[in-house]
Amino acid sequence: MVVQIYSSALLGIKAQKVTIEVHCSLGVGYHLVGMADHAVRESTYRIAGALQSVGHKIPGKKFIINMAPADLRKSGAHYDLALAIGILLASNQINACVDLDQCLLLGELALDGTLRPLKGVLPIVLAAKEHGFSAIILPEENAAEAAIVQGVNIYGMHHLSQVMNFIQGNNTGSSEKITAQKDQCQQCRVVRPNNEYDFSMVRGQETVKRALEIAACGGHNVLMLGPPGSGKTLLARCLPSILPPLSYPEALQTTTIYSVMGQDLSHGLIYKRPFRSPHHSISDKALIGGGRYPMPGEISMAHNGVLFLDELPEFTRKTLEALRQPLEEGKVHLSRAQYSVTYPSAVMLVCSMNPSAEGSGDISANYLKKISGPLLDRIDLHVEVPAVSFEKLSETSPSESSAKICQRVLATRQRQMNRFKQQTFTCNAHMSGKEIEAYCTLKKPVLNLLEQAMSQLGLSARAYHRIIKVARTIADMDQSQDIRAEHMAEAVQYRVLDRQLDKGIIRI
């Protein structure tokens, strides 16, 4: 007799349907085929133990278990439940009263039959819905996460016996059907999460705050330069508080990454913009992702949020080089011999540098060499963060709150969204040469100003497009259709490093 059961394989953030065919006939033997890895092959022992715990067994017959598609790698212990149910059905130890063609089974079995949770439930359930499955049976620890997805019945169970009862129609009420959490399902729901850091905490630093507001408005990458204790880290931590809240599709993407990482998602979708601040000793694999079964790195965990590289020159050159392609494309491709996975990595990059860490107050060309080149090329705004005077620090009147700044950011973002309706991106920072040409026409005096500034300040060619994009954002903040001279003049200011690189030295 042959039975078919369905489960799922996760490759990166993409899940695929896996059909498990169990053939049981006279004879002896147990053959598991279909590119199953070690953990799947070991399932036999876990299943034998679990079946015994519920008064059943793998009978002395010949089993051929085929996991299709055959060319898809199957890894992980979450196939245990589907395999165990397949064996019980194929050997006529139980009969199914529910339509198993509509049902996806997931979960690792303990030797006593308990179901153990798995990682990556959210992308699996999303794909299952797309494939037309109407019910998912999985460990109860994963049920709340699965219930993020609307329109699929989720059955969270804690033991194999409960699953058997459910399949045989002896539902004693112990298996709980969980419906999608109402508040998660509103596609346009916008939630303003609480932020620990708020710009009202920062005294003075008006120029830096202005630069960070521009960055938030246009999605630009920023580099902050300043002496120790001037508030660089504090300012960077405040940035997420002025970014627009995640939209429903963005929250779904970001939550999917955390699901693959196996984080607790029992509270539902993550609406808070991620802020990741990896230590400078991080390896390139941990930053962009990797491993035998490639997992997301810090840059993907910061997807739709901020990746903060504090003390930029302390990162190894190799690590920073690895960031090039993911920053450019907004995704990371990780290839292995038989397959490759892609994780999203659309981040705002914020970096800080402390030139006086070198001993003198100068940034030497040598110091800059560590970070110059490709990475610097991708940073639109360089801003100096001077030490704050005692008078400023001791001021009691509160600074402008993040909520207020955020309102302006939201309005400016809306203007860009209207402009980029036909495009796949929504921010000025992501414009390519073509869009710059279309949306950033410069009138003669403005063009002259840019030319003059570039030659006088000795700005390199790479600064050219960056300055125009920033000027576009400043004009948008000013609700101006045209990029005017004052917008351009301000944008030019934010190229501190370009100015100094050519001279070989910078003094803060």
Residue ranges in contact with ligand ATP by CB under 6 A = 202-205, 226, 228-234, 354, 388, 393
Nearer to Mg ion among residue 75 and residue 233 (C-beta): 233
Q: How far is the CB of 233 from Mg ion (least distance, A)?
A: 3
User: Residue 95, Cβ neighbours under 10 Å: how many?
Assistant: 10
Chosen from Mg ion, ligand ATP, none, partner binding at 355 (C-beta under 5 to 8 Å by type): none
Parallel/antiparallel/unpaired status of strands 289-290 and 295-296:
antiparallel
Chosen from ligand ATP, Mg ion, none, partner binding at 229 (C-beta under 5 to 8 Å by type): ligand ATP
Chosen from ligand ATP, Mg ion, none, partner binding at 204 (C-beta under 5 to 8 Å by type): ligand ATP
Residue type, 391: E
Please pick, from the candidates 233, 247, 401, 460, the single residue that binds Mg ion as defined by CB under 5 A. Answer: 233
Which are the contacts of 71, defined by CB distance < 8 A and separation ≥ 6?
35
User: HSE (CB half, 13 Å, CA atoms) of 340?
Assistant: 6
The residue nearest Mg ion at its CB is 233
How far is residue 287's CA from residue 314's CA, in Å, rounded to a whole number? 14
CA torsion through residues 351, 356, 362, 364, sign: negative
Q: How far is the CB of 310 from Mg ion (least distance, A)?
A: 5
Please give the size of the binding site for Mg ion, defined by CB under 5 A: 1
Q: How far is the CB of 387 from ligand ATP (least distance, A)?
A: 8
Chosen from ligand ATP, Mg ion, none, partner binding at 50 (C-beta under 5 to 8 Å by type): none
The region of 113-121, 123-131, 233-241, 466-474 touching Mg ion under the rule CB under 5 A is 233-241
Q: How far is the CB of 280 from ligand ATP (least distance, A)?
A: 11
Chain-centre distance for alpha carbon 34: 31
Tokens of 276: 């990741």
Q: Where are the alpha helices (DSSP H) in 323-443?
A: 324-329, 365-369, 374-377, 390-393, 402-419, 433-439
Chosen from Mg ion, ligand ATP, none, partner binding at 173 (C-beta under 5 to 8 Å by type): none
Q: How far is the CB of 353 from ligand ATP (least distance, A)?
A: 9
CA torsion through residues 415, 421, 427, 433, sign: negative
Q: How far is the CB of 322 from Mg ion (least distance, A)?
A: 23
Residue 25 dihedral angles phi and psi, to the nearest 5°: -145, 175
Chosen from Mg ion, ligand ATP, none, partner binding at 202 (C-beta under 5 to 8 Å by type): ligand ATP
Residue 260 dihedral angles phi and psi, to the nearest 5°: -65, -35
Chain-centre distance for alpha carbon 469: 25
Chosen from ligand ATP, Mg ion, none, partner binding at 203 (C-beta under 5 to 8 Å by type): ligand ATP
Q: How far is the CB of 309 from Mg ion (least distance, A)?
A: 11
Nearer to ligand ATP among residue 323 and residue 388 (C-beta): 388
How far is residue 337's CA from residue 331's CA, in Å, rounded to a whole number? 20
The residue nearest ligand ATP at its CB is 231
Q: How far is the CB of 224 from ligand ATP (least distance, A)?
A: 8
The region of 159-167, 226-234, 341-349, 470-478 touching Mg ion under the rule CB under 5 A is 226-234
How many angstroms separate the first and last alpha carbons of the chain? 79
Separate counts of helices (H) and strands (E) for the chain: 22, 21
The region of 229-237, 245-253, 340-348, 394-402 touching Mg ion under the rule CB under 5 A is 229-237
Site for Mg ion, rule CB under 5 A: 233
